[in-house]
Amino acid sequence: MERTILNKINSLPETCGVYIFKNKEGKIIYIGKAVKLRRRVQSYFRESSWKNEKVRKIAEEAFDIEFILVPSEREALLLESNLIYKHKPRYNILLKESRFYPYIYLSNDEFPYVELRRDRKAPGTYFGPYTSTKLVRSMLELLQRIFKVRSCNLPLNRIKKACFLHHLKMCSAPCIGKITKDEYQKSLDGLIEFLEGNTLKVRLSLEDRMYKLADNLQFEQAREIRDVLNSMDRLYSKQAVDVPQDLSVDVIALSSGILILLEIRGGMLLGKLVYDFPEGKVSDFIGQFYLTKEKNRPKNLIVAGLRKSEASQLKAEFEYIGKPRNEFESRLMKIAFQNIEQELNMRIGATEALKQAKNLLGLKKIPRLIEGIDISHTQGLMTVASLVVFDSGKPDKSKYRRYRIRNLETPNDFEALATVIKRRYSKHPLPDLLFIDGGLPQLEAVSKALDELHQKGEIIGLAKKEEEIVFPDKRGKLKLPLDHPVMKLLTSIRDETHRFAVNYHRYLRERRYLGSEIDKIPGIGPKRKKLLIQHFKSVSKIKKASERELLEVIKNKKIVEEILKWAKENGG
């Protein structure tokens, strides 16, 4: 160890602060906090502390040290958390997400917009993360119907007229001055209150408004609020847990290196988040998750395994932090630990299947990263390819990709496969295992395409007719029982690639069919066609739509009459 760093350590003050270890290259290797800096840092260089391997490695690599004095433990905790988030030092235990979670984002504009985001890069306010993208989209649709906050991110000074969302009463149209800044802020406050968990207050306010409108014989407006309340009930019925409707807490449980976080807002389970956190403490997680990047924090945090001293440091950040206070919170904590147990069982099963796959399929290493490809078309029309990614035996939907194959004049699955292989792997490395939904002819097309890219990798296919595993070399064919762990893994990948490809193809086919059918309606131009497609999604729904529903979208009685006439003539 250099004498320079020893002299620095011995001259450290015995006050509260954050210390930063650096190696010979000047790179930060560890960041920590201490109530008494000198005593804490000196402990790293005592041989008695080297039973802990991480402490020994820090002591061996440390070449320089910096420190920042702060007035209290709370400031030390906040500073440490933000420095770890920024520099991600090698020896600090870092938070690693086991899933890819969506957020609800509120921008910093004069008239903020709301949208779903998958990262936290843009300045603004974030709510979440949430477990399900589908849930977030449903919530955003509900919130737009209640609060009419805009969802477009266009500069308002470039917009000349209101979009169709305003006509659907899902946006207050600040772009054309339909609402003042103060009125818009009032709507925003309500939206934020809802997302922070005060859903009961929002519901009671809506009910009160509905009854007042009904008393004033404004039945149409009252019916609109009733529909919003019904939408809220449907959302609650899918996500509700058996707790009071006004309960809003986060519940954290950590065991076996897996951390589960349950987000309860207004009695709704909005998120079950899974994080890998090996060797970490609950307090480390709280610091990294809640105290960095202006994270939107819950008022109450129910957590197991937090020391009294750690809770004391964090109590200023929450209205309550600690153990469950009642039977409802105890039940939620039990659910969190049950989810950890379930996650462990799933991982053990997936790991065993991957180990068996390596041996049975003759692979060079355990295929932790598997990519699956499938082709879908209708007699050669609108050919698409799907690519799904399985990481450690589980789908990673954030890495799924879809490809349009436009260079084919006649149906040709082999050429389509070759095209997507070249597009994908000319830019991305090959996975541990490339899975093709098809037999030997498909594998030969893939192998030839990879040869043209001068790429070599592990490839297998699953022939549909006999459910046989096929290889592009002399390994021949392999037939496993359908309930074998490896076969179950491969069929799940095959089913997922097929589902993803077919859904994309169906969407393109429906959009094309929908557009061509609507073109037959007199008076329907590109703009009205777009409104109908975006609102009704399918031809059958347009044909079944009532006059009132059509008027909400088209706003022209003559055109609506033409649509109704067309629908009647075409089986509506």
Q: Could you count the other beta carbons within 10 Å of the beta carbon of residue 160?
A: 7
Amino acid identity at 565: K
Q: Specify whether the CB–CB gap between 154 and 173 falls below 8 A.
A: no
- Residue 388, CB half-sphere, CA atoms under 13 Å: how many? 25
- Fold for the domain defined by 3-92: GIY-YIG endonuclease (3.40.1440)
* Spatial distance between the Cα atoms of 456 and 342, rounded to a whole number of angstroms: 37
- Smallest CA-to-CA distance from 141 within 206, 191, 176 is with 191
Banded pLDDT at 36 (limits 50, 70, 90)? confident
Contacts of 518-527 spanning 24+ positions with Cβ under 8 A: 518/542, 520/566, 521/562, 521/563, 521/566, 522/562, 522/566, 523/556, 523/558, 523/559, 523/562, 524/559, 524/562, 524/563
Q: What is the pLDDT of residues 475-506, one digit of tens each?
A: 778 888 887 888 888 888 888 888 887 776 56
Question: What is the predicted pLDDT for the residue at 273?
Answer: 82
What is the CATH number assigned to the segment(s) 519-569? 1.10.150.20
Mean pLDDT (whole number) for 41-49: 83
What does the DSSP assignment read for 157-170? Answer: GG--S--HHHHTTS
Partners of 265 in beta bridges: 268
| Both tokens assigned to 402 | 């879809």
Lowest mean pLDDT among 10-24, 148-162, 323-337, 371-385: 371-385
Q: Could you count the other beta carbons within 10 Å of the beta carbon of residue 390?
A: 26
Residue 59 has pLDDT above 90, yes or no: no
Percent of the chain with pLDDT over 70: 86
Mean pLDDT (whole number) for 4-33: 86
Question: What is the predicted pLDDT for the residue at 97?
Answer: 53
Opening angle at CA 344, ends 341 and 345, nearest 5: 90
Question: What is the predicted pLDDT for the residue at 370?
Answer: 92
Lowest mean pLDDT among 292-296, 471-475, 492-496: 292-296
Banded pLDDT at 233 (limits 50, 70, 90)? low
* Spatial distance between the Cα atoms of 366 and 354, rounded to a whole number of angstroms: 6
Q: What is the pLDDT of residues 398-414, one digit of tens each?
A: 888 888 777 666 667 78
Mean pLDDT (whole number) for 541-565: 81
Banded pLDDT at 237 (limits 50, 70, 90)? low
Banded pLDDT at 80 (limits 50, 70, 90)? confident
Question: What is the predicted pLDDT for the residue at 382?
Answer: 64
Burial-class residue 296 by CB neighbours within 10 Å (0-12, 13-18, 19+). middle
Which residue spans of the chain are classified as CATH 1.10.150.20? 519-569
Mean pLDDT (whole number) for 116-127: 82
Residue 432 has pLDDT above 90, yes or no: yes
Phi then psi for 296, rounded to 5 degrees?
A: -75, 115
- Residue-averaged pLDDT of the chain: 80
| Residue 63 DSSP SS3 | coil
| Residue 442 DSSP SS3 | helix
Taking the mean position of all CA atoms in its chain, how far away is CA 214? 41
Amino acid identity at 69: L
- Fold for the domain defined by 249-343: Nucleotidyltransferase; domain 5 (3.30.420)
Banded pLDDT at 513 (limits 50, 70, 90)? very low
Q: Specify whether the CB–CB gap between 388 and 496 falls below 8 A.
A: yes
Q: How far apart are the first and last CA of the chain?
A: 84
Which residue spans of the chain are classified as CATH 3.30.420.340? 369-507
| Residue 14 DSSP SS3 | coil
Question: What is the predicted pLDDT for the residue at 464?
Answer: 74
Q: What is the pLDDT of residues 360-383, one digit of tens each?
A: 888 889 999 999 988 876 554 567
Range 369-507 has CATH code 3.30.420.340 = yes
Partners of 459 in beta bridges: 434
| Both tokens assigned to 54 | 């991480």
Question: What is the predicted pLDDT for the residue at 371?
Answer: 93
Dihedral (Cα; 436, 440, 441, 446), 10-degree rounding: 40
Question: What is the predicted pLDDT for the residue at 514?
Answer: 47
